[in-house]
Amino acid sequence: MPPKRLREYEQKREFEGTPEPLPGEAAATDGHRFVVHEHSARRWHLDLRLEHDGALASFALPNGLPDDPAQNRKAVHTEDHPIEYLGFHGRIPEGHYGAGSVDIWDEGTYSAESWDPRKIVVRLDGRRAHGRYALFHVGPDAKDWMIHRTDPPDPGREPMPTHLVPMRARAGRLPSDPDGYACEVCWSGERALAHLTPGRVRFESSTLEDVTARYPGLRRLGRAIGARSALLDGVVVALDERGRPDRELLARHPDGPAVRYMIFDLIHLDGQSLLEMPQRERRARLQGLGLEGPAWSVPETFEAGGEPLLAAAREQGLPGIVAKRLDAPYRPGVPSDAWIAVAARHPRRKRGRERATLAELLEGGRPLGEGRVEVELGGRRLTLSNLDKVLWPATGTTKGDLIDYVLRLSQTVLPHLYGRPLTLKRYPDGVTGAKFFEKRCPGHRPAWVRTEAIQSERHGGPIDYCVVCDRPTLVWLANLACIELHVDLFLMGTGQRPTATVFDLDPGPGSDIVDCCRVAQVLRGMLARVGLESFPKTSGSKGLQVYVPLNDGRATFERTKSFARTVAELFEREAPDLVVARMTKSLRPGKVLIDWSQNDPRKSTICAYSTRGRDEPTVSTPVRWEEVDRCIERGDAGLLRFTTADVVRRADRDGDPFAGVLSVVQRLP
């Protein structure tokens, strides 16, 4: 007779209408088989079923099996299933319990280390699922469990980047030698990366804004990839009745049936980074995923030269095409000659959210009198005032110039601001007048400015910080004469876990940024020897900063500060004539202070690409290590001094050399 505990299984099913098996006289076994079903029901999930005491103990896993001990995933303890379910697969008809497709994702045997009413520890030995897992009860409901992997991740497995600034194309002409290139349509829409993990879908814009809720029709993309994990690159478009992308239609109806995700690259797949993989191989793997669905597709590419495709794009009114070198890796945040954007028509002035200038913004503005003008940007209305007010008297740079700068740099700077608490440094009367720091977001802010509350011991309660997520907020801050933007090293909602370790190099009297470069060069080598990649940027004032990205979701400020302090003090012992790791003023002349204390949840650092309140509009500018080396070779501090005009040119030419700080995942030794 079937076990009595299978009655719930029987009561939930009408066996005359479902192919699911009736409990029967299953053959006796040693009781150590398991199966993992992929169940595409109302919501996608995996079902883990463990043979135990004559039945299958069953757990629904909405986000699949964890592959890392750092992850605990939900497990819903469902009704026991009969032994016959070990081999079941098929489609449960609509109207029946669990309607949807059921496929065998994995099967094998397991050993049970413990089996208690509130905790089960097993070691799975299957084709896909292998390793030691613990299932444990949580919460008041009997079905609320979690599953935890106790073994380390599989060797060579790399975590998917939480954030990544996409690679950019350079404008140009079709390659004179088309061999080695593939051409594809350049789609007009919103660039977006799709982060897909079992049971979860997240779309992120090129400025790292979470736009998942904006496009509800794309959420079912996760089902198409099932239990796999992937990071895709593409463009969200809205197609008009002739099949052409229409930006205005996308803006008006982002939730409409015309919205489609055009996927053109694969950056990460099943625990493997594909950044260094050639374009040709990435493309082959992308096509192997079979991602053709009701609201997404992988458009065709052409390797026989781009002229026919360019002519077709011109005839259909498309923006143009992109020629991609087939042997090229993927370079986050960088405009590369490996991707060439070829316009189908004569270039027009750039408009919309991608790029804008103050002049373009003011064209549609409404004068309000007394030096004020109302403008619309990104669907938001804001009032600009006193645009002619001089903020940097030495150069005559005005508030209008500052707004123009943040508009031009918005695509580059927003990823470094997104999701981080922001401390403002405002100069209402310019850099020669009074100035003040402001942690609490101004109370007269527009309703659309996002804020996040953080508990402050010093203030005895929560502080609402500004969080910059879009271009309108960036322009609003510039209009407040907020010259300096200081950000925390953690993202909101992460439990104040730092995403990087920072070494702030501050030259003492008699030293300059050239000396900081010498320290940074040695520091880079020290970090590389323990397997850590690092990225430099100028402070925009006197010094240099070296960032070590982490982005693993595990780091603590206690650990990052301890690590930075250890490195700084070791450096001081090795080079006492060059470096000091203590704040004592008497020790600083002729030396570079390695300030490790910035690694603290109560401190903020100047944001990349922020202007500074100096005599001239200098900028905290990310630089390449080759530029650091060149500064040392020539002994010229002026090589690493950049103004707003310089940085606009650099961003157009080089993209963002600091993008890796947002995407590289590594752990401190």
Write down all domains in the chain, each with its CATH number in brackets: 4-149 (no CATH), 168-343 (3.30.470.30), 358-487 (3.90.920.10), 500-663 (3.30.70.3300)
- Checking if the pLDDT of 3 tops 90, the result is no
Residue 204 has pLDDT above 70, yes or no: yes
Confidence of residue 346 (pLDDT cuts 50, 70, 90): very low
Q: Are 513 and 628 in contact (CB under 8 A)?
A: no
pLDDT at residue 379 above 90?
no
- The tokens describing 404, both together, are 């123009």
Coil, helix or strand at residue 179: coil
Residues 530-534, mean pLDDT to the nearest whole number: 96
Which sign, positive or negative, has the C-alpha torsion 413, 419, 425, 426?
positive
According to the model, what pLDDT value does residue 354 have? 44
pLDDT at 494 over 90: no
**pLDDT score recorded for residue 352:** 38
Average pLDDT, the chain: 93
Whether 302 contacts 179, CB under 8 Å: no
Nearest to 617 by CA among 650, 640, 641, 644: 644
**What does the pLDDT read at residue 187?**
93
pLDDT for the residue 351: 40
| pLDDT of the residue at 1 | 53
Segment (H or E) for 634 = helix 625-634
pLDDT of residue 583: 86
Tens digits of residue pLDDT in 300-324: 999 878 898 998 888 888 889 999 9
As given in the structure block, the two tokens for residue 491 are: 């993202």
Q: Using only C-alpha atoms, what is the Rg of the chain?
A: 28
Euclidean distance between CA atoms 174 and 316, whole angstroms = 19
Q: What are the residues whose beta carbons fall under 8 Å from the beta carbon of 558, sequence distance 6 or more?
A: none
The C-alpha angle 658, 659, 665, rounded to 5 degrees, equals 110
405-463 pLDDT, tens digit per residue, is 999 999 999 999 999 999 999 999 999 999 999 999 999 999 999 999 998 877 788 99
Predicted pLDDT at 71: 85
Q: Token pair 């469902």 is at which residue? A: 78
Bridge partner residues of 456 (DSSP): 461
Say what the pLDDT of residue 306 is.
87
Q: What is the pLDDT of residues 453-466, one digit of tens each?
A: 998 877 788 999 99
Token digits of residue 437: 């720091």
| Percent of all residues in the chain with a pLDDT value above 90, rounded to a whole number | 85
Which tens digits make up the pLDDT trace of 26-74? Answer: 555 667 999 999 999 999 999 999 999 999 999 999 999 999 998 899 9
pLDDT at position 297 is 96
d(CA 527, CA 523): 6
**pLDDT above 90: residue 139:** no
Length of the chain: 669
User: What average pLDDT does the segment 521-540 reach?
Assistant: 97
What is the rounded average pLDDT of the residues 627-655?
96
> pLDDT confidence of 586, banded at 50, 70, 90?
confident
pLDDT of residue 538: 98
The predicted model gives 244-263 an average pLDDT of 94
Q: According to the model, what pLDDT value does residue 2 have?
A: 61
Dihedral angle over CA of 600, 603, 607, 613, nearest 10: -150
Which tens digit of pLDDT belongs to each residue from 63-111? 999 999 988 999 999 999 999 999 999 999 999 999 999 999 999 999 9
Q: Which residues contact 260 (CB under 8 A, 6 or more apart)?
A: 236, 237, 238, 239, 295, 296, 297
Pairing outcome for strands 181-186 and 366-369? unpaired
pLDDT of residue 585 exceeding 90? no
